[in-house]
């Protein structure tokens, strides 16, 4: 399947360190060679780069690693296709407008029954993936229930978690979705996060010989949340997501963890195997 990477911060930050590790998994240290994408927010607008080439070999990916772009929120994806051909239209992350803001979405997994979810017509897929169809259905539900941005962010988060759980009834639904202000991250089978804040330490990538001393490039007030399908560093403590839960991040902080449907048998098997325990011991 694919791999996800998200960043949410309280001060503009570049994602070069984490993206360098993810890029290596896109056709070098990993098999996710069917395209990649990276989105940066600048206020309500997202600057989105997508490429159907393997990320590890892409000149565009190399350019973005060599030319840092600071942002408060970013979403990245490396693809290993299950549904839809290798082409630009099927490359994540996908972007749509709602309430005068861009919303960006990237998915890991296969939702075989996604296209049975009815669309009303405002949001229409460009490609053939189950992922983009699920994203359109999710946005249609949000737009239908909330004509304007709700004053209570908790009500919106709760609704997204509920509808995401409905989609997950049709298959595996790990995703990242953000609007430049709030980042939603749902764990179905695998998802990890870390919040870097003072006192900052040194971190080394798993997939590349790169080490950064964050204390030398941050201020004491900085806070950065990183979400990934698998931990990107080997010397930091990452927190594993529980199946059928959704994290909500704002300004680099984890502000809520919500139930989102029911854990699938596949998710429970994976969790049990990673803990070295039989499923019946859960």
Active site residues: 2
DSSP-derived secondary structure letter, 132: H
CA 221 to the chain's CA centroid: 25
Strand order in the sheet with 3-13: 45-51, 36-42, 71-78, 3-13, 223-228, 192-197, 239-240
Rounded (to 5) percent helix, strand, coil in the chain: 25, 35, 40
Work out the number of other CB atoms within 10 angstroms of the CB of residue 279.
Answer: 12
Q: Which residues, other chains included, contact 5 with Cβ-Cβ below 8 Å and sequence gap of 6+?
A: 15, 18, 19, 22, 74, 75, 76, 77, 176, 226, 227, 228, 229, 232
């Amino acid at each position: 399947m694919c791999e996800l990477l998200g960043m949410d911060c309280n001060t503009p930050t570049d994602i070069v360190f984490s993206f360098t590790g993810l890029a290596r998994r896109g056709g070098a240290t990993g098999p996710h060679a069917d395209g990649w994408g990276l989105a940066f927010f600048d206020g309500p607008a997202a600057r989105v780069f997508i490429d159907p080439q393997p990320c590890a070999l892409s000149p565009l990916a190399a350019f973005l690693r060599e030319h840092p772009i600071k942002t408060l929120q970013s979403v990245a994806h490396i693809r290993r296709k299950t549904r839809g051909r290798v082409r630009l239209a099927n490359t994540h992350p996908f972007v749509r407008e709602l309430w005068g803001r861009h919303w960006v979405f990237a998915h890991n997994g296969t939702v075989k029954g996604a296209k049975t979810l009815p669309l009303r017509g405002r949001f229409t897929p460009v490609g053939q993936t189950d992922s983009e169809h699920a994203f359109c259905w999710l946005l249609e539900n949000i737009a239908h229930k909330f004509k304007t941005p709700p004053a209570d962010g908790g009500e919106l988060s709760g609704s997204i978690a509920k509808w995401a759980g409905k989609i997950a009834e049709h298959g595996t639904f790990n995703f990242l979705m953000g609007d430049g202000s709030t980042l939603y991250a749902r764990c179905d089978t695998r998802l990890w996060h870390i919040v870097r804040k003072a006192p900052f330490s040194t971190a080394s990538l798993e997939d590349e010989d790169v080490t950064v001393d964050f204390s030398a490039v941050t201020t004491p007030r900085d806070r950065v949340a990183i979400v990934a399908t698998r931990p990107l560093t080997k010397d930091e403590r990452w927190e594993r997501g529980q199946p059928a839960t959704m994290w909500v991040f704002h300004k680099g902080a984890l502000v809520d963890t919500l139930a989102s449907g029911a854990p699938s048998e596949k998710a429970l098997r994976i969790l049990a195997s990673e803990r070295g325990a039989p499923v019946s011991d859960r």
